[in-house]
């Protein structure tokens, strides 16, 4: 994850004086009038930045687990020079970020210097991943905004138990985080023009949990008209999970990333019992740190609930029936999605994948078809058992569901399909020593939000790939098509052979179906 660092530069010219010069005031930053008050940001040579802008009221007290309320207007100028508090979350091995502050519904705006109410730019609204950790300011949009000539908005939304909680009698159980995101999109419609953004050209994009949230807005009638293009990076809209595929001991799940309202409310009752509460009034008085300490919610994302006034009961049926917003789509995965999950939920968790244990993993996940899977993915073909298991689940869970999702979306929407394939991408999360993650889940994010640290870790050909990806994403935001001057041609998706592989020095179509052995996986499906 990336942090945006604003470092003021003071140039002091002193002549003929032995005393320390008096402190010099920084030049005033730009002021923009929003519908709740004026905000003063930071001016850089190539961009303007406004951090910590409230987009909704603090969701505290009776507003915990309530849909976002309008932010309270203020008088005078509000400093927009620092990000607002991250939403409540526990620190973990991936992110050194912890918060118990529920007053967290803030957004950040980065605009190219030329953006103005008269010269409006496309707006790109980023939903970060994970669902239990993270914050908008962890991503540096400077190069995307400046090189892409777009306005970029990052933001915080309620996470984990605060965003996906369900309970009997709670209206909108399991959809609160989704409604926070929609509140940002509505804020954009009201305020983007003042920052030099075009509210009639909004691209909603996200990674992992954020990409699945983006697909939720595609399917939700309440979000229609609030965005005009979508980009989904490694989402799991139609992904089921074989037993033990992600977490040891976890049974097979029909959805990875979704739940039902009933199941969300049942889980909420378990949490309430742990806290000694019988009703919502009691739960709303539980201090945030105590709520975060409940084992059922610690660092675990809460899936969004299906089958309510926000989301359909079955995403697969909704996409198959064409019940989604008609907008251009850019969607894809990384080449080795599941290596990240094997690293953190097995290798680092004390349950490493071994040669002796590999057959049992296959039996647990695939039952009487395990022998066929073992023959298709023999250990001898992989450097380690961990990589063999990661290959199995990458193909079965990720590639299989991504292809079906994009096939269904492309029946109605123009769609461009990619695969990020840099197997030597810089690492910004702590993988086990000696572990080779390949083109890992979310490894493409630093190519779109590069900061000085990630750029310094890149080879020249990787920097060139980052520049090309930024141009693809920005072209898509401008015109609904990633193609443009100075980038390799990217054909619109028309089948598994028209997937664009994004690798250093090798940007070209790849046969996604063959690469991920999807004909084999289809052969195992019930007839």
Catalytic machinery residues = 208
Q: What is the separation of C-alpha 391 from the centre of its chain, rounded to a whole number of angstroms? A: 23
Three-state DSSP at 49 gives: strand
Place of tokens 């419609």: 189
DSSP output for 393-454: HIIIIIIHHHHHHHHHHHTTS-EEEEEE--TTPPP-S-PPTT----S-TTTTHHHHS--HHH
DSSP output for 19-41: SPPPPPPPPP--EEEETTEEEE-
**Please, is 297 exposed, middle or buried when counting C-beta atoms within 10 Å of its C-beta (0-12, 13-18, 19+)?**
buried
Distance between CA atoms of residues 502 and 499, nearest Å: 10
The two tokens of residue 207 are 């990674």
- Please choose, from the candidates 270, 29, 14, 49, the residue with its C-alpha nearest in 3D space to the C-alpha of residue 141: 49
- Please choose, from the candidates 358, 352, 367, 356, the residue with its C-alpha nearest in 3D space to the C-alpha of residue 433: 352
Residue 469: partners with Cβ closer than 8 Å, 6 or more residues away: 444, 447, 448, 502
Distance between CA atoms of residues 73 and 71, nearest Å: 6
The two tokens of residue 155 are 């933001």
Residue 334: partners with Cβ closer than 8 Å, 6 or more residues away: 234, 419, 420, 421, 439, 440, 441, 442, 443, 444
> Are 301 and 130 in contact, with CB atoms under 8 Å apart?
yes
> Are 58 and 313 in contact, with CB atoms under 8 Å apart?
no
C-alpha to C-alpha distances, 131 to 171, 401, 429, nearest whole angstrom: 21, 20, 17
Beta strands in 213-300 (DSSP E): 229-233, 258-260
Distance between CA atoms of residues 86 and 187, nearest Å: 19
Place of tokens 């804020």: 187
Q: What is the separation of C-alpha 471 from the centre of its chain, rounded to a whole number of angstroms? A: 19
Distance between CA atoms of residues 200 and 108, nearest Å: 19
> Are 56 and 190 in contact, with CB atoms under 8 Å apart?
no
Distance between CA atoms of residues 240 and 156, nearest Å: 28
Distance between CA atoms of residues 67 and 354, nearest Å: 46
Distance between CA atoms of residues 131 and 101, nearest Å: 16
Distance between CA atoms of residues 311 and 220, nearest Å: 5
């Amino acid at each position: 994850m990336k942090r945006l660092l604003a470092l003021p530069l003071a140039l002091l010219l002193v002549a003929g004086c032995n005393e320390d010069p008096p402190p010099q005031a920084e030049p005033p930053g730009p002021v923009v009038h929003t519908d709740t008050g004026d905000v003063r940001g930071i001016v850089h040579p190539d961009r303007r930045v406004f951090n910590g802008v409230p987009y909704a009221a603090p969701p505290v007290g009776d507003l915990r687990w309530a849909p976002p309320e309008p932010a309270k207007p203020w008088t005078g100028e509000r400093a927009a020079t620092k990000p607002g508090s991250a939403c409540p979350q526990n620190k973990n091995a991936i992110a050194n970020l912890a918060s118990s502050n529920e007053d967290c519904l803030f957004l950040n705006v980065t605009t190219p210097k030329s953006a103005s109410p008269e010269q409006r730019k496309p707006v790109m609204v980023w939903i970060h991943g994970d669902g239990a950790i993270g914050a908008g300011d962890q991503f540096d949009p400077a190069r995307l905004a400046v090189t892409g000539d777009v306005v970029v908005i990052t933001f915080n939304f309620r996470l984990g138990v605060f965003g996906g909680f369900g309970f009997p009698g709670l209206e909108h159980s399991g959809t609160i985080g989704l409604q926070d995101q929609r509140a940002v999109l509505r804020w954009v419609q009201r305020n983007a023009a003042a920052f030099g953004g075009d509210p009639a050209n909004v691209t909603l994009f996200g990674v992992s949990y954020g990409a699945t949230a983006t697909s939720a807005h595609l399917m939700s009638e309440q979000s229609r008209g609030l965005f005009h293009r979508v980009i989904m990076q490694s989402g799991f809209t139609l992904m089921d999970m074989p037993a033990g595929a992600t977490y040891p001991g976890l049974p097979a799940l029909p959805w990875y990333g979704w739940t039902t309202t009933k199941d969300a409310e049942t889980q909420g009752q378990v949490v309430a019992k742990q806290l000694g509460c019988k009703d919502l009034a009691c739960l709303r008085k539980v201090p945030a740190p105590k709520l975060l300490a409940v084992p059922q919610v610690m660092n675990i994302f809460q899936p969004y609930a299906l089958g309510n006034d926000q989301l359909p009961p079955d995403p697969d049926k909704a996409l198959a029936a064409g019940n989604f917003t008609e907008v251009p789509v850019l969607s894809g995965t990384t080449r080795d999605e599941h290596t990240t999950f094997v690293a953190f939920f097995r290798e680092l968790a004390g349950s490493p994948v071994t040669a002796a244990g590999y057959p049992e993993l296959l039996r647990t996940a695939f039952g009487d078809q395990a022998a066929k899977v073992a023959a298709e993915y023999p250990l001898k073909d992989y450097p380690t058992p961990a990589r063999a298991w990661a290959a199995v689940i990458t193909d079965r869970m990720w590639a299989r569901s991504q292809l079906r999702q994009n096939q269904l979306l492309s029946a109605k929407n123009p769609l461009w399909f990619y695969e990020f394939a840099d197997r030597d991408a810089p690492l910004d999360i702590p993988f086990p020593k000696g572990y080779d993650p390949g083109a890992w889940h979310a490894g493409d994010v630093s190519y779109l939000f590069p900061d000085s640290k990630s750029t310094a870790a890149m080879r020249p050909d990787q920097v060139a790939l980052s520049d090309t990806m930024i141009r693809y994403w920005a072209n898509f935001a401008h015109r609904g098509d990633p193609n443009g001057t100075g980038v390799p041609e990217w054909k619109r998706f028309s089948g598994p052979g028209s997937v664009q592989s994004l690798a250093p020095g090798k940007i070209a179509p790849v046969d996604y179906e063959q690469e991920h052995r999807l004909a084999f996986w289809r052969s195992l499906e019930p007839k």
